[in-house]
Amino acid sequence: MMNYIWGGMIVFSFIAAIFSGNMQSLSDSVVNSGQDAISLVIKLTGMMCLWGGIMKIAEKSGLTRVISRFLSPLFSKLYKNVGRGSKTAEAMSMNITANLLGLGNAATPLGLEAMRRMQEENPDKTTATEDMIVFVVMNSAAMRLIPTTVATLRTQFGSASPMEIMPATWLSTAMSLLAGVITAKIFSKLLNNKPRRVIALKRGFSK
């Protein structure tokens, strides 16, 4: 589906550039965007290698186990099949910690590692488990205690008080996280109960 969407956007941009006489601007944008994409890939690769190494150091030093034990009450409420003190719980703990500190790029490789481990424990490899869905939602609507990335951007653009957005960040991210998790749990319950409702309905008609 995404291939069709991107393909349609490219064709529409080309046609719009022809009729508006902005082919030169389109050509410049294509070249510049290609350069920006390569720079982004290099930056993300370096960041993922760095935090992947930090994850290994944290595992060897026992830091992940400490954070996992600290977050175990939260995990027991949100995740059904993540064992306390397991490698999956440790990777998830590091991911959540990075998100709380506003280190979105650092949280990415840690989140990928957690998803890889959950997929290894998934009995149905073609369908995401409820734990995987809730984890993705928590990453998409992650709460930020320290908006590091946004504060850095504000500093670069000349903000005198880059951290003044912290109260608004706490409120908005907490509300989005709560709404996301509740929605994921509700839909999970509805989908899990759907086969049972269909079976009960069929039995009612058969009688």
DSSP 48-67: HHHHHHHHHHHHHHTHHHHH
Residue 9 covered by a domain? no
Residue 108 covered by a domain? yes
Confidence tier at 203 by pLDDT (50, 70, 90):
very low
198 vs 78: which has the higher pLDDT: 78
Q: What's the confidence (pLDDT) of residue 118?
A: 85
Residue 26 covered by a domain? no
* pLDDT digits 0-9 by tens, 170-198: 888 888 888 888 888 888 777 765 544 44
* pLDDT digits 0-9 by tens, 110-148: 788 888 888 888 888 888 788 888 888 888 777 777 776
Residue 44 covered by a domain? no
Residue 191 covered by a domain? yes
98 pLDDT above the threshold of 70? yes
Tokens encoding 26: 């389109």
Query: Domain range holding 188?
Result: 49-206
95 vs 201: which has the higher pLDDT: 95
**10-18 contacts at long range (C-beta below 8 A, 24 or more positions apart):** none
Which position has the token pair 């306390």? 84
Residue 87 covered by a domain? yes
What is the length of the chain?
207
From first CA to last CA, the distance across the chain in angstroms is: 43
Q: What's the confidence (pLDDT) of residue 149?
A: 67
pTM beyond 0.75: no
Q: What's the confidence (pLDDT) of residue 207?
A: 47
User: What average pLDDT does the segment 3-19 reach?
Assistant: 85
Residue 42 covered by a domain? no
Structural domain total, the chain:
1
55 pLDDT above the threshold of 70? no
Confidence tier at 107 by pLDDT (50, 70, 90):
confident
159 pLDDT above the threshold of 50? yes
107 vs 202: which has the higher pLDDT: 107
**How confident is the prediction for the chain on average, in pLDDT?**
76
Neighbour tally for 185: CB within 10 Å: 15
Residue 6 covered by a domain? no
Closest CA to 93 of 111, 73, 116, 67: 67
